[in-house]
Structures are given as C-alpha cells and as structure tokens.
Structure 1
Amino acid sequence: MSDRKRRQLIQAILSAPLAAGAVLPGRAAAQGQSLPAWQPGLLDIHHIATGRGNATLMVLPDGTTLLMDAGATDDSLDVSFSPRPDGSRRPGQWIARYIQRRLKETGTQALDYLMVSHFHPDHTGDVGADAPPSRLGPYRLSGVTDVAEMVPIGTVVDRDFPGYDYPTVWTAPFATNYFSYVKSRVTKGQDVQRFRVGTDKQFVGKGHHRVPGKFGVRNLVANGEVWTGVGEGTVKMFPPLDTLDRKDYPNENLCSSGLRLDYGDFRYFSCGDLTSYTYDGEQPWRDVLTAAARASGPVDVATADHHGLFDGLSADTVRLLRPQAWMIQTWHISQPDLLQLERMFSERLYPGAREVYATSVMKENLVANRRMLSRLKSIDGHIVVRVAQDGTFNIFVTDNADESDRVKMVSGPHRSSRKSA
C-alpha cells in the first residue's frame, strides 16, 4: 500500500461518523458539550485514556470514589500511543487532575480507595532515571505515586500486601518504587490492605450522599484465588509453587485482582490483566479469567482484560459474561488482537447486539486490522459508563485531547439485561 493510500485509509477510519446523542439518566447531554456533572444516585465508571496504560475511576452512587490502577509507561512512540492530552505533564498527573474534577462534583476532596490490580508499570507507573522525587516520602513520582502526590487517598488495596513475595520477590524499579510508597503510608499510619477475595465488605460506600439504591463491590479474584459465587467462599487454582518449575510460576498478569460492581440490576466486571491462556491445554489451572467470569455470571459491561491481547478472553469467558458493551483499555501497537475482537463480536458465543470500545488505538493497528477495528464504537477518548438507579445506562466517549470533558458521542440508553429478562 502506498503512503498516500495509507494516509487516506487512516483519515477515513478516524473521521467515521459517531453515534447520535441520547438521553442521559437524570439529565440531557449532547455532543460537543461537556459531560454533565455526576449527581447523587448515579454510578459513573470512567475509563481514563492517557495513552499510557490503565486507569479506571468509579464514582459510586453515594459519591464514594474508587480508582483501579494508574498506569504510566515509558514506551517509545513507535510502539505506544502518544500521551493524552499531551506530554506537558506525566500520565499520573493527568489522571490526578481528572480525578480532581470528579471529586469536585461529589463535594469531596479525597479519593476513598485506590485498588492496584497488579504491579506492572502500565498499571502502577514506570520509574526511569528522570522520575522526580516525591515531597511526601522516599519514592519517585509516576502513575500511582503521581496521583497520591496530588490527591489524598483514604485506603490503598493491592494483591500482596504486606509481604510482596508471591510468587517471587519483585526487584524491578517500578515495583520497588510502589512498595516504597506503601511503606511510607504504613509509617504515617495511613490505611493499606491486602485484597480479600470473596468479600463484598472491603470497598464499601462512605455515605457522602444519602441514596436509596443498593450498590456493592464483590472481590472476585487475586493470586489465583477465585470466589465460588456462594457467600465468601473461595477456591485456589494455582498448584503449590514447590510442585512447579520456576519457569511455570504464575506470572504477574495471572495474579491480577479483579471485581464485580453491582448497582441494582446493573453489573460491571473488570479483572486487570487476568488471562485465560493455558499453553494450549497443558496447564489448565492458568485459565483464571474464565473462572472469575463463571463466579461473576453475566454482566452488562465488561473490560476485555489484558488490553484485548491474545491471551485474554477465552471463548468461555465471553459466553459467561455476555455483556452489552466491552471496554478495551489499549495503548500499545499490538492492542487489541483480532481473535479477541472476533470473540467479543461473535453472536455464536452469545446472541444479541453489543458494542466494543477502545481507549487508544494506534494508527498502525487500525491499518493492519481494519476489518475488525472499523467496527469499534470509539478508538480514542475517555469512556464513561453512567448508570441510573433503575439499571439503565448510557455510554459516553469524551475528548482526551484537552480537559474540557467534551462529549464526542453518546450511546444509549441501554437497559440492564437482568431488568429486561
């Protein structure tokens, strides 16, 4: 393909028409306007698109806030999306500023919870030689620590506190920097907790506003331990480490923690970089993502975990979750993968319409995989799911080229599958 034709193809994909506006539960919204402010009784789920990794902010109906990850990669622009809005600030700073805008809407000044799904830099922050030191402790600023520098955090939860030795001890700078941040919090008497699989009592509403609707967060999985779906029971999928060769130890992605967020009839599923690949059946215990999906049951919105890469969603995971909308948090040239898209769109796996969104898809991937990527509802922008008390929800894509929160498209209203049943 000539350079001229390639440019024309990219332009055609990027300029494809977006969906028309729809009615927002509780308030009207239109393309070109700023996203209407959160109101008590609404559940907002913000997939923040910095082009540098994962960050998901959940504003619960009573104003309680939960941030899941704050990634900041240092990958070069030949393989990674360009920073959004731009490179004048670090990704964690942009995330923190986004959070501050949402906190203003709730009338609060601190993030209630930070949940770190696992310790990779696209979820916690790369730390290079030029990463500046913190004013608040003996660690450097990137991703999670940049957020913590700008926004007070009530409780930090991760998969391996306090030992940080499973399955092995991390020595990479991005991990040890995060551990130094945690140690600093503990020294100051600030709350840090280990993620407790099976419970729905670790991330609880703080009651910033009184609301009648019932909502909750169920901890589904961490370190290969999965909720059974009954009470707070769990089952451990990983074999004892002393029965495995070192090369077969569970990797960091496979140890990811994940949750299901419920609001009335609405359900949302997200499990970090959890995977389902079993080395083609050789090690079936590695398919933790499908086990987490089975524990969760069907949902309305789900993330395509591990950025929609080849080892993420199994066919069974897709069948079990069967959401109306998939969210893919992308930033690398390889994300998302064609087979993953085939599964998400496949009505052989589950019937009915569904929408697929991605936060930041590189142009090179758009050209190479146009057959499937042309079906995405969005390829660049923050993706916000807004849920009303009756279970109806809209999906907004907002502009990440600046901090206006300008609505680029709206889809909905959608009705919860449980409400429709």
Structure 2
Amino acid sequence: MNRYILLLVVAAFAATTVFSQTLEKWEEGYLDIHHINTGRGDCTFCILPDGTTLLIDAGEIKANTRVVAPKPDNLKRAGEWIADYIASFIPNGRKYIDYYLLTHHHSDHIGALFRVKEEKKRYYLTGVTDVYQHFPAHTIVDRGGDFFPPSFSDSCYSNYCRFIKSIDNKVEHQTFKVGTDKQFSLLYDRLSYPSFHIRNIYANGMLALENGEIDTLFSDRILYTKKEMPRENMYSCVVKLTYGLFDYYTGGDIPGYPRPGRPLWHDIESPVSDIVGKVEVAVLNHHGNEDGTNEHFLARLSPQNIIMSAWDALHPNHTVLARALSKEIYPESRNVISTNLHPAAKIVIGSLTDKMASTQGHIVVRVYPGGAKYSIYILNDSDSKHLIKKELGTFDCTK
C-alpha cells in the first residue's frame, strides 16, 4: 500500500472513530452546559454538579429564507427536538427539569410558531411550551410582568402568558431577582459543592453591584420619550455561573451599541461586563448581531471560548466576528464557536469565518470536578444520535 493510500485510510478511520463516539454520561461533580442547536432559536440545557437541571430559553421562530434549515429536520417541532436531545443526557432518565430561566419575551427565546395547540386548546405548543409537555419544570423564572412587559397584542407574549396561567397550580413561577445567588441553587447536594453558584447579575435595567447594592441603568424618568424607550432585548436576564475557577456568562440579547439617535444608557453590555469580569466561556449577546459585543465587553470578559447561538444570515455580523477574534482587544488566544453559519453570512464575512473553531453543531461545555479544567465538544446535529463531531480540547481555568 503506497503512502498516499495509507494516509487516506488513516484519515477515513479517524473520521469514523470520531463520529462513532458518544459523549460520556454526566457524573456527579461535572458541570455540563449543552447549547442545543435546532436552527430555530436559543436553548441551553445545564446539568449542575449535584444533578440539578436548568433550562435557559427554548425558542422557536418561523422559517424564512433568511434562516438556516431546521436541525436535524422539520419532522418535529423545535421544542420536540429539544426534548429529544434532553432525554439523551438528563441524569437517571428523569422526566422533569428543576428550573427554567427565560431571559426575555422574544420568539427565538420562548417560541412563536402557532400551528398546534395543547390538548385543552389553551395555548400553542411552541418552544418552551412544547418542551414542558415532555419535561415539566418545578420552577419557572422570567423577567416578570411588572416592568414594561410586551403588549398582550404580541402573540408570542400572550401565548406564553396563557401557558403560565394554565400551569399556575403545578409550577412555582418566579420573577428573576437581581443580585441573588440563591434563586438557582443546588437542590440535591449543595454542601458538597460550595464553590458553585449562579449569580443573577442584571435584568429590567437593574444591575447588581459588587457591594451588594442594586443600581439602575435606565433613565429615572417615569415616562420615556419614543427614542428613550428601552427595547425588550434590554430587559434580558443575565447570569454568571461559577464553579471553582471556572466562570461562564450568558445574557440573552442585551445590546452594547445604542441604535442611532438613542441615549448612551442603551448600552447595557459595558456596565454589565464591569460586574461580570473575567470568564472562561461567554455566550455572545444577541447571537452576534450588530448591536452587541462591544470592545469593552470583550476586554472585561476576555473569554477563552466564545459561543454563538446563531441561525440567521445576520449571525454573526462581520465586525462583531472581527472584534471577537481581535487580539488588539485582549491578547489571549480564544476559540469562536457557532451552532450554525448561514451560507449568506459566509459569503459576506468571507475568509474570516475560517478562523472560527467550529460553525455547525451542538456545543457542549463540560467542567470537571472542582472547576479547574473543562473541555468543549461539538456534537453532530444532523440526527438524534448526538455523536461527537469534534473536540476542541481541554482548557485550564485561570484567574
């Protein structure tokens, strides 16, 4: 066998070997963070060190020419595919999830595909309401309805409200509490993992300061002018997960650049990032859209790994990706990873996308006991086997 053929055989074997591997099951002491790709919206499923489970968002948008094909296909709704994925990884075959955190009231985070209603016809099955049919929550946390909620004429929000009302006697429904690290607590063995906590950093214009006080980022006006009026994305719930030396940031769709003519306080990223500080892994705000990921945010967080939940031709914006990759903003090496990359985005962004570590698949962050090291895996999203597609490596956590 000549050398060329031998190399082809070895390469084929290596590819087969990678795709034949499944992710080892979660074990006590691991922190697993699964960024689930349906091509239809945000969804992150976390298994905390003692087995407590947390779902962050579960969106479903309508298909159009600007979004990628559904993953793995359109034979199920996005929420059904999310449930299928969770069933493959949830510990001990549980049929429930301890916490849902819904960062804000947009379709790509809670669902707005109105085709099928639940059995009693009270609300549509879409996104989070669909996941609930398979894995009901013990506690649902959202930004609440007291601070400039969407209008009930907003079909996405009204469907969610009908859902919450229909399950009110089954689930504890809470408003996100800025400043606490007790709302999402370990439920099964908290004492064994004293270094783990989830801190609620921001929501609804309220920011938890380091001294324990709560500051408001919004104007103190009672009534806003049209240009001053905050947008739904600006209300997003922001959390920081800490386990030993490992820190993880996710903040929904908070913006870092005010729209033209808007006040400077519409930049939510900068003050939030001052509180969050250095992290190992950060999820880009607003899917890498043009109104987020400012230089101050990147410099303050300086993440080793940057994750984008993307599905639109606008994800990521070219200048956002350039900033995320720039060592002028912070010098340390980093990986930029995306759940999808739309063909149109590839054309516009061009060769810069070649510098991304991965552009397709479920993204799993696995933090090892004690929180000193973690690994990142890319799982195949073309079927329900969820086999390992790529391992980005094992990383040391630093302070």
TM norm structure 1? 0.87
Structure 1 residues 381 and 230: alpha-carbon distance in aligned structure 2, compared to 1, 3 A threshold: same
Match of 2:173, SS?
Answer: strand
In the alignment, is residue 144 of structure 1 matched against residue 128 of structure 2?
A: yes
Separation (CA, whole Å) in 1 of partners of 2:105 and 2:348:
31
Partner of 2:8: none
- Give 2:67's aligned amino acid: S
- Give 2:307's aligned amino acid: M
Pairing 1:151-170 to 2, within 5 Å after superposition: 151-161=135-145, 163=146, 166=148, 169-170=151-152
In the alignment, is residue 64 of structure 1 matched against residue 46 of structure 2?
A: no
Q: Shift of residue 107 of structure 1?
A: 5.0
C-alpha contact (below 8 Å) 1:160/1:166 kept by paired residues: no
Partner of 1:406: 387
Partner of 2:329: 349
C-alpha contact (below 8 Å) 2:302/2:332 kept by paired residues: no
Q: Deviations over 1:293-316 (max 9, x none)?
A: 111110000011100011111110
**Displaced runs of 4 or more, over 6 A:** none
Q: Shift of residue 70 of structure 1?
A: 0.3
Separation (CA, whole Å) in 2 of partners of 1:250 and 1:295:
21
Q: Deviations over 1:163-203 (max 9, x none)?
A: 4x5155342111100011111122x2420000001100000
Partner of 1:12: none
**Equivalent residue for 1:88, pick from 75, 79, 88:** 75
User: Unaligned regions of 5+ residues in structure 1, if any?
Assistant: 1-16, 22-28
Separation (CA, whole Å) in 2 of partners of 1:235 and 1:53:
31
Pairing 1:328-367 to 2, within 5 Å after superposition: 328-367=308-347
Partner of 2:89: 102
In the alignment, is residue 52 of structure 1 matched against residue 40 of structure 2?
A: yes
C-alpha contact (below 8 Å) 2:257/2:292 kept by paired residues: yes
Structure 1 residues 227 and 170: alpha-carbon distance in aligned structure 2, compared to 1, 3 A threshold: farther
Separation (CA, whole Å) in 2 of partners of 1:138 and 1:159:
22
Partner of 2:256: 276
In the alignment, is residue 383 of structure 1 matched against residue 369 of structure 2?
A: no
Structure 1 residues 282 and 89: alpha-carbon distance in aligned structure 2, compared to 1, 3 A threshold: closer
Q: Deviations over 1:58-108 (max 9, x none)?
A: 1101011111100101031x11110001000000110111122222x3453
Structure 1 residues 85 and 344: alpha-carbon distance in aligned structure 2, compared to 1, 3 A threshold: same
Separation (CA, whole Å) in 2 of partners of 1:118 and 1:82:
24
Pairing 1:235-274 to 2, within 5 Å after superposition: 235-274=215-254
**Equivalent residue for 1:321, pick from 296, 301, 320:** 301
Separation (CA, whole Å) in 2 of partners of 1:167 and 1:404:
39
Q: Deviations over 1:9-60 (max 9, x none)?
A: xxxxxxxx9xx99xxxxxxx95530111111100001110100110011110
Q: Deviations over 1:357-405 (max 9, x none)?
A: 0001111211221222111111110000000124201100000101111
User: Unaligned regions of 5+ residues in structure 2, if any?
Assistant: 1-10
Match of 1:113, SS?
Answer: strand
Larger relative CO (CA 8 A, sep 6+): 1 or 2? 1
C-alpha contact (below 8 Å) 2:150/2:157 kept by paired residues: no
Partner of 2:163: 181
The size of the alignment, in residue pairs, is 385
C-alpha contact (below 8 Å) 2:33/2:44 kept by paired residues: yes
What CA RMSD, in Å, does the superposition of the two structures yield over aligned residues?
2.0
- Give 1:80's aligned amino acid: V
Q: Shift of residue 209 of structure 1?
A: 8.8
Q: Deviations over 1:331-354 (max 9, x none)?
A: 111110111111111111111110
Partner of 2:5: none
Partner of 1:4: none
Q: Deviations over 1:100-150 (max 9, x none)?
A: 2222x345331000000001100011133xx21112671110001000111
- Give 1:146's aligned amino acid: D
In the alignment, is residue 126 of structure 1 matched against residue 126 of structure 2?
A: no
Q: Sequence identity of aligned pairs in percent?
A: 34
In the alignment, is residue 373 of structure 1 matched against residue 353 of structure 2?
A: yes
Separation (CA, whole Å) in 2 of partners of 1:386 and 1:268:
11
C-alpha contact (below 8 Å) 1:277/1:286 kept by paired residues: yes
Separation (CA, whole Å) in 2 of partners of 1:72 and 1:208:
34
C-alpha contact (below 8 Å) 1:39/1:106 kept by paired residues: no
**Equivalent residue for 1:392, pick from 368, 373, 378:** 373
Partner of 2:286: 306
Separation (CA, whole Å) in 2 of partners of 1:73 and 1:61:
32
C-alpha contact (below 8 Å) 1:290/1:317 kept by paired residues: yes
